[in-house]
Amino acid sequence: MSSIRILSDRVANQIAAGEVIERPVAVVKELVENSIDAGASRIEVEFRNGGKSYIRIEDNGKGMSPDEALLSLERHATSKIREASDLNEVSSFGFRGEALPSIASVSRFTMRTRAEGWEHGTEIKINGGKLIEKKDCGMPVGTVIEVAQLFNSVPARRKFLKTDPTETAHITYNTRLFAVAHPKVAFRVLEGGRTVFQSPACENLCDRVAEIWGRSLADDLIPVDVSDPQTGYRLSGLTAKPGVGRSTRRELVTLVNRRPVDSRTLGFAVLDAYHGRIQKGRYPPAFLFLEIQPQEVDVNVHPAKREVRFRNEGAIRRFVLAAISDTLAAATRVERPNSTPRALEKLENTDAIRPAAPAANPPSAQFPNSAPPAPVQPVAPAATRPAASVSAVKVEVSPEAPAKAAPAWRLITLLKKRYGLFDTPHGIVMLHLRHADQRVRFERILQSYGESSPPSQGLLIPHPVQLEPLASEALRSHLDWINAQGFGIEEFGRHFYRIEAVPAWLEPEQAEVFVRDMVDLLRQRGGSRQRGELAWEAVAKLAVGGSYRRSDLMSEAAIEQLAEALLRCETPHTSPAGKPTYSEISWSEWERRFGKD
């Protein structure tokens, strides 16, 4: 008897489901794509328990006849392509004919559908790939698909699913992408009978972004619409204004022929266009639609069709880069006439840097965007501060125990606005101002961790924050821990929060941006390190990321105080990122180099 056998269709479908249907969000994605291909103008998505126990997709598309409904559940049965050459000109979302049989093989599957011209609809029930029932039913034109007990026939797969809130966040985010990709389709998403979001058909993309992603994000975007008649390429949508950035790529959405995709070519082109226009390490929020000929892109390179391959990636990259760069340059020219006089006026009215007045309090580092310990004032005028710095941090700590005995460092001069040259009893020291400033602020923020009542400052006007689902779940799970560190954040609706207080070391005007970055950082760390000192150490590193820069001004007295504060640190030799804070050449080394008299 041969040991090689042909697998049954049921087993083959369950194997295929492992590639196509990885988690509940994949079910929603495949069924919503089918609804859009069917010409639906209204799509409703309902799910419970993160999609594990129940998913329902209802649309008003063209529906199917009884024979078509049965045939659609066969493997590789599709209405999208006929020949292999059709793969070169795929314009629909689905085309493989794998989704429906794969979903039906790992769940309790019910489909009701009715085509135009039929007096009744068709209802089909399947459990674990076995046909249970087929009958007529009454319903309007369109299709309703219900998926219950997902992975009931593959229990091992259920063990790899995340928590209900995490799966819910993935479904919500994915449905948002389709809603943005198709503004003229009305979407409604319900979780356990509660509406997550609802958006009627919109005439323009800006209204759809405002309804789904929030008005604050929509106000930070500018329109893009550039075409190349020679190649037929067109880039449209919305992109961030210069200076607007996020700590992650989640709001950098790229679509090719209205298909949401993860493309390194498009992503790097957008980032290159924003080089010098946003802070390093930040990502611009954008919703960009690239329209090209179907034969210019291959969408059949990934089971979930999230990755694509372009026939001419170089030309695509150059086109997107030029389109975004020209749009940003035009936006800058429009804003410049109003912004330049205001900036000049600020510079003219700004006083020179004020060195700190002598006081009885212990000396402390003085640096821009920060208030050092005791009453020392910030040294940099407002006009010289980095614009929209993510980590405008100030430090206020009570007097500590007597400082460690330290060699007397005498400042000789400031070099290249970055280094301080010091004369010490042991030699010549070159101090890196930014690295030293980061170390001082980092250790002072760490000192606040674990205090019973860390210093906090209430905000006169609370800052509202709207987060996307995954970030909202991360903040909710860490909320008690965050508030214990001097923050005052409370939930104010679904995915809405209100910042009422911040620690004493954080500038109030930077509260919203810092909280967004902190939540993204905690969400990425996840798991075993999401709480405790390790997490707070990561937050402290984030807080000092926007420390002293070359564009900031620092007085000689402030530089000397920074050196004294650095020498009182537990680890004065390196910055939080592990870079050296100073370098010393001893007098004996100088004597060895020059030779003794």
Based on the domain organization, do 446 and 325 belong to the same domain?
no
Based on the domain organization, do 122 and 188 belong to the same domain?
yes
Q: Is the pTM of this model over 0.95?
A: no
Based on the domain organization, do 176 and 28 belong to the same domain?
yes
**Is 162 among the domain residues?**
yes
Based on the domain organization, do 235 and 262 belong to the same domain?
yes
CB 185 within 8 A of CB 201: yes
Residue 57 tokens read as 């997709």
| Long-range contacts of the stretch 250-254 (C-beta < 8 A, 24+) | 250/173, 250/468, 250/470, 250/471, 251/213, 251/217, 251/283, 251/285, 251/286, 251/468, 252/283, 252/284, 252/285, 252/286, 253/177, 253/180, 253/286, 253/287, 253/288, 254/286, 254/288, 254/290
Q: Is 279 left (phi over 0), alpha (psi -120 to 50) or beta?
A: beta
Here the CATH number for the domain that contains residue 246 is 3.30.230.10
Based on the domain organization, do 184 and 250 belong to the same domain?
no
Kindly give the confidence (pLDDT) of every residue in the chain, 597 residues in length, as a single tens digit, with 9 standing for 90 and above.
567 877 776 676 666 665 668 889 999 999 999 899 889 999 999 999 999 999 999 999 999 999 889 888 887 666 655 555 555 555 566 556 678 888 888 899 999 999 999 999 999 999 988 889 999 999 999 999 999 999 887 777 778 888 888 899 999 999 999 999 999 999 999 998 899 888 899 888 999 998 888 888 899 999 999 999 999 999 999 999 988 888 888 899 999 988 888 888 999 999 999 987 887 778 999 999 999 988 888 876 666 667 788 889 889 999 999 999 999 988 877 764 444 333 333 333 433 333 333 333 333 333 334 433 333 333 333 333 333 333 344 433 333 434 444 447 889 898 888 899 999 888 999 999 988 888 888 887 777 766 667 788 888 889 899 888 878 888 888 888 888 888 999 998 878 899 999 888 787 887 888 888 888 877 776 544 445 555 666 677 666 766 655 556 788 888 888 898 888 888 788 888 778 899 989 888 888 888 876
Q: Tell how strand 259-261 and strand 309-310 pair up.
A: unpaired
Residue 508 tokens read as 């109030």
Based on the domain organization, do 324 and 406 belong to the same domain?
no
CB 182 within 8 A of CB 246: no
The CA-based angle 487-491-494, given to 5 degrees, is 145
For residues 597 and 591, what is the distance between their CA atoms, to the nearest angstrom? 9
Here the CATH number for the domain that contains residue 75 is 3.30.565.10
**Is 17 among the domain residues?**
yes
Which of the listed residues 168, 202, 236 is the one where a domain comes to its end? 202
**Is 506 among the domain residues?**
yes
**Phi, psi angle pair for 391, to nearest 5°:** -125, 60
**Is 375 among the domain residues?**
no
Work out how many domains the chain is built from and give that number: 3
Which of the listed residues 202, 234, 266 is the one where a domain comes to its end? 202
Based on the domain organization, do 198 and 234 belong to the same domain?
no
Based on the domain organization, do 264 and 398 belong to the same domain?
no
Based on the domain organization, do 44 and 164 belong to the same domain?
yes
**Is 208 among the domain residues?**
no
Q: Where are the alpha helices (DSSP H) in 274-425?
A: 313-349
Which domain does 419 fall in, by range?
A: 382-585
Based on the domain organization, do 165 and 191 belong to the same domain?
yes
Quick one: DSSP state of residue 275? Answer: B
Which of the listed residues 202, 228, 254 is the one where a domain comes to its end? 202
**Is 576 among the domain residues?**
yes
CB 354 within 8 A of CB 379: yes
**Is 496 among the domain residues?**
yes
Based on the domain organization, do 297 and 239 belong to the same domain?
yes
**Is 546 among the domain residues?**
yes
Based on the domain organization, do 439 and 507 belong to the same domain?
yes
Here the CATH number for the domain that contains residue 460 is 3.30.1370.100
